[in-house]
Structure 1
Amino acid sequence: MNKIHRNYKRLSIWILLFTQILLIMSYFYLKVDNVALKSEKISFVNSPQEEQIKLTYHTSDSRIFLKSINSRTKFIDFNSSLCYTNGTDLVSMKRSKQFNWQCNCLPGWHGKDCGQPEVIWRALLTYRKPLKITGPRTFERRIIYVFSVDKFSETIAEIRINELGSIVDLFILYEDKRSDFLQHKLNNNFAKQYHDKILYLKTNNIDNALHLVKNLRDDDIILNSNGNEIPNKFAINFLKYYNKWPEPIRFRLRWSVYGFFWVHPSKTIITGGACSVSYLRGVFNNRIKLLNDNKTLSNPLYKGIILGDLNHYGGWYCEYCYDIAQILELLATKFHNAINLEKMHQKKIDNAFLEDLIENGLYIDGKTELLRTHRYRDSYFAPYYVMENNWNYDFLLINLYSKIDYYEG
């Protein structure tokens, strides 16, 4: 009896052990199978052929509506005085124990309401005809800035989008219809912070771009400039709040070369343009590119105004502000007319030649002497965004090929 009991007990143990082995094998089989199913599912969802990029910027298929903003948000009321907040010495006015019957302007600001930055005030003073600027308006004018972007102008485009992003309502960025450089950049987060303000187009669609803005107003502003230009943000901002300024507007830009540390001996260049939508329609027949055509704008028929002079600039023109490899690539193109290509090959323009030009302050022709600028003494040395983010743009602020500039910077 005891023997039978022992055999039964032994058999029970073996059955229990066998059952446990089966359970363990079943668990691992089911787990591996489940993982395989999951991996197949994930692979299917993330298939590169099926996945599409979700655009966060506007395209030719978009319907765009610009915001209407009350101008009073940028002004403050002191008794009977309406003062532009950014141009007014609010501290001294608030400390004053007397009634403030007029606005107390900060240095570099002018006008009854302190709304005219230096560059605007000087332009209005030198204008040959009497002007009666009125404002502030009830609602801000919206600014639409149109310019092309390619691999040579990528850095300057990044700077001006960030420099003007808070005051421009829509950037219309375009590129040649045969290129996809800009589109690729936008898809990889170029100027991501401002994608809701960016409309991407090809060159052939520019003249129809404004049709995509469904609430466009006649008094909105169109601004157009070349690839290496950065307009003065304060000059542009003034146009938003005031009426009866002369049209069209052109800009006298500081002419920097290789970086902001050298200036061309001519010092400035007049280029770019801005006007109201009604002016664009009535005078330029909606052709936006005419706003940046010097032959057109220099015609006496277009009696506009130039913003900027030799000491207070309407912005910056940064010529050859690329790395050495890009300058060489640009000079090798058929479309570049700055120097004679035949002579270029005779002179053997290479890395060493360009480094010598940048170090010693010679223009691309190898003859014209450039003027040195002073980073900490010159109030118009570079755009504000560049100065505030100098660690990203040291190659534009410091002459890296000059030991003196490098160590001083």
Structure 2
Amino acid sequence: RKWVECVCLPGWHGPSCGVPTVVQYSNLPTKERLVPREVPRRVINAININHEFDLLDVRFHELGDVVDAFVVCESNFTAYGEPRPLKFREMLTNGTFEYIRHKVLYVFLDHFPLGGRQDGWIADDYLRTFLTQDGVSRLRNLRPDDVFIIDDADEIPARDGVLFLKLYDGWTEPFAFHMRKSLYGFFWKQPGTLEVVSGCTVDMLQTVYGLDGIRLRRRQYYTMPNFRQYENRTGHILVQWSLGSPLHFAGWHCSWCFTPEGIYFKLVSAQNGDFPRWGDYEDKRDLNYIRGLIRTGGWFDGTQQEYPPADPSEHMYAPKYLLSNYAQFRYLLDNPYQEPRSTAEGGRRPRAPEGRPPARGKSDVVEG
């Protein structure tokens, strides 16, 4: 194929200027084989939801025009096994998410797995297994090379990377995202990146991982019995890679990013396996104590924050939708319990209009 050389805009690379920086500077071993597709893939993004509704809103706006179906699983039990209200279902029906409703497939988990109260990892794994198997089975017109991405609710891939997966052939699988890590809000940036394998084609998900999302996230593909069969049938050698790098973030992981009341609910909802379970300690559930953690960036074990607050003007500080609606999401962008930094100290508070443009277009992937 003969290419016409383009002068690419900043952040874009390749002969047709369609390769984003997070791919250009990734460890993808097949960059020289990348070619634009004639027909875009469909992209399926699967998420379990507890009470991360603001981050879910941000995800929908970051990825709404790229993802074809958001498969969102909600249970009437917490990860600890206690009853909880179906708040997301309520928000779907009352119009809160009307702008993206046509792309949401709601998955209801109406039971708690046997043994999940004694061993929280049983419950944690089962949530993702049920999400994938029930959700994907209800999608129609899926093609083998469509893209499946499973995230925790606090993991938001960047739009450019997901768009690349949708529009290009030549990349290998499975893939991960290098995500910028932060705690309590985007202002407490953590060292390193979160790198979790979270995506592959629908064909690989079905053939190699047995339609089980937790295997995709936690099992090396070469330990799965059908990976050689898949390679031989498709002619593709499986090579795991990651979008982005430790210096080029391909998304955001905002851990414990709630108001103090939201952190309290996360404490009492947490599964019984990730010890110590801080929600079992009354003093850790105190709202004033939680406010102090947000203020200092400390952790429940007494560990103190070793790094200064991040500069809101830095590249990839937070998703664009958050920055465009600064007042609405201020508690995630500015530390609400610290004195604001002056511009002389390097701080900057960007402001922008607060509109909510809906994601455009309909999808034929979501059933009902």
Q: Quick check: TM above 0.5?
A: yes
1:189 CA displacement:
1.4
Query: Which of 52, 58, 74 is residue 159 of structure 1 equivalent to?
Result: 58
**Matched position secondary structure for 1:390:** coil
Q: Of the candidates 202, 208, 213, which is equivalent to residue 108 of structure 2?
A: 202
Question: Equivalent residue for 2:312?
Answer: 375
**Secondary structure of the equivalent of 1:332?**
helix
Correspondence for 2:265: 329
Query: What's the secondary structure of 1:254's corresponding residue?
Result: strand
Q: Which residue among 196, 199, 202 is the counterpart of 1:271?
A: 196
Match of 1:399 among 330, 335, 347: 335
Matches within 5 A, 1:139-150: 139-150=39-50
> Does the 8 A contact of 2:148 with 2:202 survive in 1?
yes
Q: Which residue among 129, 142, 146 is the counterpart of 1:216?
A: 142
Q: 1:351 to 1:122 in 2, by over 3 A?
A: same
Question: Matched residue of 1:400: which SS?
Answer: coil
Identity %: 28
How does 1:12-91 map onto structure 2 within 5 Å?
Answer: 81=3
1:263-303 CA deviation, whole Å, 9 max, x = no partner?
123x3111251111111122112223323x23446969863
Counterpart amino acid of residue 198 in structure 1: V
Q: Residue type matched to 1:373 in 2?
A: A
Instruction: State how far apart, in whole Å, the 1-side matches of 2:177 and 2:222 are.
Output: 12
Residue 152 (structure 2) pairs with residue 226 (structure 1): yes
Match status 1:239 vs 2:165: yes
Q: Distance in 1 between matches of 2:207 and 2:100?
A: 31
Q: Are the counterparts in 1 of residues 279 and 285 from structure 2 also a CA contact under 8 Å?
A: no
- CA distance 1:138–1:183, shift in 2 (3 Å): same
Cα distance change of structure 1 residues 211 and 331 upon mapping to structure 2, 3 Å threshold: closer
Secondary structure, counterpart of 1:106 in structure 2: coil
The CA RMSD over aligned residues, in Å, is: 2.6
Partner of 2:180: 254
* Distance (whole Å) between structure 1 residues aligned to residue 47 and residue 18 of structure 2: 27
1:362 equivalent in alignment to 2:298: yes
- Is it true that 1:388 corresponds to 2:324 in the alignment? yes
Partner AA of 1:241 in structure 2: L
* CA distance in structure 1 between the partners assigned to 2:278 and 2:25 by the alignment: 44
Shift in CA distance, 183/367, structure 1 to aligned 2, threshold 3 Å: same
Q: Could you tell me which amino acid in structure 2 is paired with residue 139 of structure 1?
A: V
Instruction: Tell me how far 1:106 sits from its aligned partner.
Output: 1.1
Task: Give the TM-score, by structure 1 length.
Answer: 0.68
Q: Which residue of 1 aligns with 2:215?
A: 290
> How much does 1:343 deviate?
9.8
**Corresponding position of 2:92:** 186
CA distance in structure 2 between the aligned counterparts of 1:193 and 1:365, rounded to whole angstroms = 41
SS of the residue 2:24 aligns to: helix
Q: What is the number of residues matched between the two proteins? A: 304
Change (3 A) 1:238 1:205: closer
Q: CA deviation at 1:110?
A: 0.9
Cα distance between partner residues in 2 of 1:260 and 1:205: 28
Structure 2 counterpart SS, 1:404? coil
TM-superposed deviation, 1:366: 2.4
Larger proportion of helix: 1
Q: 1 CA distance for matches of 2:322 and 2:250? A: 16
Q: In structure 2, how many angstroms separate the alpha carbons of the residues matched to 1:165 and 1:342?
A: 35
Q: 1:390 to 1:346 in 2, by over 3 A?
A: closer
Change in CA separation of 1:205 and 1:102 when aligned onto 2, cut-off 3 Å: closer
CA distance in structure 1 between the aligned counterparts of 2:327 and 2:221, rounded to whole angstroms: 38
Aligned partners of 1:330 and 1:336 also within 8 Å: no
* Contact 1:221–1:274, Cα closer than 8 Å, also in 2: yes
TM score, norm. by length of structure 2: 0.75
Deviations 1:124-174 (A, max 9, x none): xx34x45543321111001011111122x1111111011100111111111
- Contact kept? 1:224, 1:288, Cα under 8 Å: yes
Partners in 2 of 1:342 and 1:270 — Cα distance?
A: 25
**Structure 2: tracts of 5 or more residues without a match:** 78-84, 110-129, 228-237, 350-368
1:335 Cα deviation (Å)?
1.5
1:403 partner SS: coil
The code of the aligned residue for 2:215 comes to: L
Change (3 A) 1:344 1:185: same
* Aligned 8 A contact 1:359 1:402 in 2: yes
The answer to whether the 8 Å contact 1:400/1:406 transfers is: no
Q: Which has the higher contact order (CA 8 A, sep 6+)?
A: 2
Q: In the alignment, residue 360 of structure 1 is paired with which amino acid?
A: T
**Bigger Cα Rg:** 1
Structure 1 Cα separation of the partners of residues 87 and 223 of structure 2: 35
Q: 1:219 to 1:343 in 2, by over 3 A?
A: closer
